[in-house]
Amino acid sequence: MSVSPLAYLWAAPASLLGLALAATLVFGRGRARRHSGVLEVAGGLPGWLLARNLPFSGPVAAITLGHVVLADSSAALEATRRHERVHVAQFERWGPLFLLAYPFASLLAWLRGGHPYLDNVFEIEARGERRASKLQGS
């Protein structure tokens, strides 16, 4: 998958937040590697934080900030890769606005009586991508 340099630039503000969290690997045991144009970070302080309860969702295996995916473990990176790549694509479309659009979508879901995480339109899109991949046999 080839990504335009403009997509990296448009998502850069969020990627910088992800890089700042990734830099905390120095303080913990974790690892980082590049996979298909995305920096994947497993373990360390980001992993420890993800294993804690996040508002509205509880513990999560991974989170995406621009072109940076932070996960609690290498296994979580593997298990969530397709899902998180949908979020990378969302950051490429929305750029820094995604940092506001995602929580707004959670608030909207909650105000409609839904779950802020499960009924967030961005999460629905990411889960739909995973199901479509399974249906296609990949």
Domain ranges for the chain, please list them. 5-135
Which of 27 and 5 is assigned the larger pLDDT? 5
Instruction: Return the residue matching tokens 């506001």.
Output: 100
In contact, 70 and 47? CB cutoff 8 Å = yes
Q: How many CA atoms lie within 13 A of 8 on its CB side?
A: 8
How many angstroms separate the Cα of 131 from the Cα of each of 5, 57, 114, 121? 29, 21, 21, 15
Which residues are bridge partners to 68 per DSSP? 39, 65
Which of 2 and 20 is assigned the larger pLDDT? 20
Round the average pLDDT of the chain to a whole number and report it.
Answer: 87
- Euclidean distance between CA atoms 93 and 89, whole angstroms: 6
Take residue 85 and report the two structure tokens written for it. Answer: 């790549």
pLDDT of 138 > 50? The answer is no
- Euclidean distance between CA atoms 12 and 67, whole angstroms: 8
Share of the chain above pLDDT 90, in %: 67
- Of 7-11, 30-34, 92-96, 100-104, least confident by mean pLDDT is 30-34
pLDDT (tens digit, 9 = 90+) per residue, 8-23? 999 999 999 999 988 8
pLDDT (tens digit, 9 = 90+) per residue, 101-132? 999 999 999 999 999 999 999 999 999 955 55
- Euclidean distance between CA atoms 81 and 133, whole angstroms: 12
